Each structure stands twice: as C-alpha cells, then as structure tokens.
Amino acid sequence: MAEDEVRYAVWGSAGHAKVLCCLIDLRGGRVVALFDNAPDAVSVLDGVPLYHGEQGLRSWRIQQDKVDDVRCLAAIGGARGRDRLAIHERFTVHGLQVADALVHPLAAVCSTSRLGKGTQVLALAIVAAGARLGEACILNHRAAVDHECMLGDGVHLAPGATLCGCVSLGDNVMIGACAVVLPRLSIGANTIVGAGAVVTKSLPADVVAVGNPARIVRRF
C-alpha cells in the first residue's frame, strides 16, 4: 500500500457504487469495505468484502486497528439524498470520517466554488464560479451547475441536467436527466424534476414536476 493511499469505506453496492468505486480508483484511493442494507446485495468489487447493515458495519469496525486513514462515502443514487445523509451520520457515530468532496479528473470545478463533505462530481460535470453545494450531493455525468447556484444537502443532478446561473435548490432535490432549470429560479426541498423537463418558474417543496414547461403532477 502506498504511504499516502487513502482507504475508502463505501455504503451501497448497486449501480452507483460501481461508478463511485471507479472514481475512487481514478483518484488513487482504494476501497477496502462495502456495506449495504439489502440482504441479497453482493460486492461490486472483486476481492472487496461486503458487510450487511448496521451489524456488518459494527463487526468491520471492530476488526480495524486504526481508521484515521479511512474515508467514507455513500453510494446511493436516485432521489435518496436523505439516505446518503443518514449514512454519513451512521459512519460518524462509528468514529469514521466522511470523505471530502470527490471530483472526477475530467470534471471542471471553479476554485471559487465550494463543495460539501461526501459530494461526488462525476466525469464532464461543471461547477462554475461562486457555486455552493451542500453535503452528500451527486453531480452526475455531464451535469452543469452555473455561476452562483446554491444547492442544499443531498441534492442529485442526474446525467446532463443543467442549472442556469443563480438557481437555488433545497435539500434532497433531484433534477432528472437532461432537465434544465432557468436562471434565478428556486426549487424547494425534496422536489423531483422529471427527466427532460424545462423548469421556467420556481417550484415549491415536496412536489414532482415534469414536461416543458414543467408542471406539477404530484405532491408528496
């Protein structure tokens, strides 16, 4: 093991975990343990053990001599920002550190932007000047966050989603693939914008909106 190699513990062993493990590898890190609540989950990485649920985390933690070089991430995609934040909390309770934001080498992140803990910026994503992203966000492939956007915790921008300048998103918002949010609009917490939508007016919290122009089709 290289002296400065960072070891990672990853919660989630499905599709997004494959993407995240690839990113960790590209950044020179090494995944040493995977965790998942699903009893039928299997490891997405050859040779890396999968532990099930809270009990699994506890037993892995007991086996470790030291964990100060381990960084933790939640590999849970979709509209599940709250679950990612809960996983961060769970790791912290066990004395583990959530990783700083992880950025793909082919993403463009302006130095004047700020990214919260555990946030993941995938290939070809863009974060422009002055943007602020909270904890446990996912900027999926080709997602774009233009200047001075403000994103809460647990936000997910699906592949190709675009936020124009000065957009504000509440916690746990999900913007579907290739959707566009026009400048200076705000979207309330937990709201889901469907794939391909064009959001032309601000949206409240706890709704689903689809289409061009986006219309609310459901309230939670």
Ligand X SMILES: CC(C)(COP(=O)(O)OP(=O)(O)OC[C@H]1O[C@@H](n2cnc3c(N)ncnc32)[C@H](O)[C@@H]1OP(=O)(O)O)[C@@H](O)C(=O)NCCC(=O)NCCS
Is residue 147 part of the annotated active site? The answer reads yes
Stretch that binds ligand X, among 36-44, 103-111, 163-171, 204-212 (CB under 6 A): 204-212
Asked if residue 34 lies in contact with residue 44, where contact means CB atoms within 8 angstroms, the answer is: yes
Binding flag, residue 208, ligand X (CB under 6 A):
yes
CA–CA separation, 167 vs 151, rounded Å? Answer: 8
Q: Which of 16, 104, 141, 147 is catalytic?
A: 147
Sheet holding 174-175, edge to edge: 102-103, 120-121, 138-139, 156-157, 174-175, 192-193, 207-210, 215-219
Residue 142: CB minimum distance to ligand X, A: 11
Instruction: Give how far Cα 190 sits from Cα of 46, 73, 81, 139, 187, Å.
Output: 35, 21, 9, 16, 9
Closer residue to ligand X in complex, CB, 15/95: 15
Q: Which of residues 63-122 bind ligand X (CB under 6 A)?
A: 77
Stretch that binds ligand X, among 26-34, 52-60, 94-102, 205-213 (CB under 6 A): 205-213
| Binder of ligand X out of 9, 24, 34, 158 (CB under 6 A) | 158
User: Which residues belong to the active site?
Assistant: 147
